[in-house]
Amino acid sequence: MYTSTIQSMKKEMNRRRLSQRTIDSYLFCIYKFLKKINKHPRKITKKEIKNYMDDLSERGKAGSTLNIHLSAIKFLIEETFHRNLFINLKYSRRPKHLPTVLTKEETKRLFDAVHNPKHKLMIELMYSAGLRLSELLNLKVKDIEDKLGWVRKGKGNKDRPFIIADKLRQRIIDFIDSEKLNHSDLIFTGRNGRVHPRTVQEIIKQAAKKARIRKNVHPHTLRHSFATHLIEDGYDVADVQALLGHNSMQTTMIYVHLAGAKLLSVKSPFDNL
């Protein structure tokens, strides 16, 4: 029963062009759900769904985990099997916390701690363009233009442009030439094809340790730092939103809270007394 149901859901998600990451997450959640409920989706009741979600909550699952499970179940019931159960459970709120951001000085120290030219180019490009790790690893030669690059089928299956820093443009071109890459080739590859995300995570972790940065630094920290530094440099939130590919400006506004007040040119009202 599990196999046919999961295959049906997988086909529907592929048809709708959901990202592979979303597909993998949803299928994992549904496997757990069906194993617990042990009924065909056409016979599952609202009460059983609610009890399952309550059980996950009581077991201390994080809010983000509850959200993914609930979204997966809704997709299975409503989109794959076209049942109008009107599952109206409240989504768990994500805890409000500010992401880790490097100062500009810490960012420079991090880059200086990486001596492998390819590794250095990877993390500098990720920071300079505000790329997610998956977006960096999926970049192809054809995605790089003169002053712009393109993220193809990024989060939400969207294309978006990204800026290419002047200081990196020639280095990217030289790297592509030195690797003798073709138009449709991935820019960054490993010994066995694709670079594994953990490889980049380890590069950044070791660089942060060598640079004596006492923060939890990971690939997404570079994207957070990129956005915060743009705000500090006086760029408009709407411009930053477009570069990050956020649907909502509210998502981008978090970086305003992270930017230094002095660099935002905020003056105390005391100065005008």
What is the model's pLDDT at position 153?
A: 76
pLDDT for 261: 55
Per annotation, catalytic residue among 26, 69, 127, 132: 132
Q: Residue length, the chain?
A: 273
User: Is 198 a residue of the active site?
Assistant: no
State the catalytic residue, choosing from 155, 160, 171, 218: 155
Catalytic residue at 171? no
Distance in angstroms (rounded) separating the CA atoms of residues 218 and 205: 7
How far apart (Å, rounded) are the C-alpha atoms in residues 30 and 77? Answer: 10
Residue 66, Ramachandran bin (φ over 0: left; ψ between -120 and 50: alpha; else beta): alpha
Q: What is the pLDDT of residue 99?
A: 86
C-alpha span between 179 and 258 (Å, rounded) = 39
Q: Residue 9: which residues within 8 A CB-CB, separation 6 or more?
A: 26, 27, 30, 75, 76, 80
> Per-residue pLDDT for the chain (273 aa), expressed as one digit of tens each?
578 888 999 999 998 888 888 888 899 999 999 999 988 888 898 889 989 998 888 887 777 788 889 999 999 998 898 888 777 776 666 656 778 899 999 999 999 999 999 999 999 999 999 999 999 999 999 999 988 999 987 676 778 899 999 999 999 999 999 999 999 999 999 888 889 999 999 999 999 999 999 999 999 999 999 999 998 888 888 888 888 888 777 788 888 877 765 555 555 555 565
| Cβ pair 53, 69 in contact under 8 A | yes
Q: Judge if pTM exceeds 0.85.
A: no
Quote the CA–CA distance of 252 and 154 in Å, as a whole number.
17
- Is 196 marked active-site? no
**Domain range annotation of the chain:** 2-80, 104-258
Determine whether 223 is an active site residue: yes
Choosing from 61, 140, 205, 220, the catalytic residue is 220
Which member of 69, 119, 223, 229 is catalytic?
223
Compute CA distances 260 → 75, 119, 226, 233, 255, whole Å: 42, 29, 14, 10, 10
CATH of 2-80, one of 1.10.260.40, 3.20.20.80, 1.10.150.130, 3.40.50.150: 1.10.150.130
Looking at the structure, give the CATH architecture of the domain made up of residues 104-258: Orthogonal Bundle (1.10)
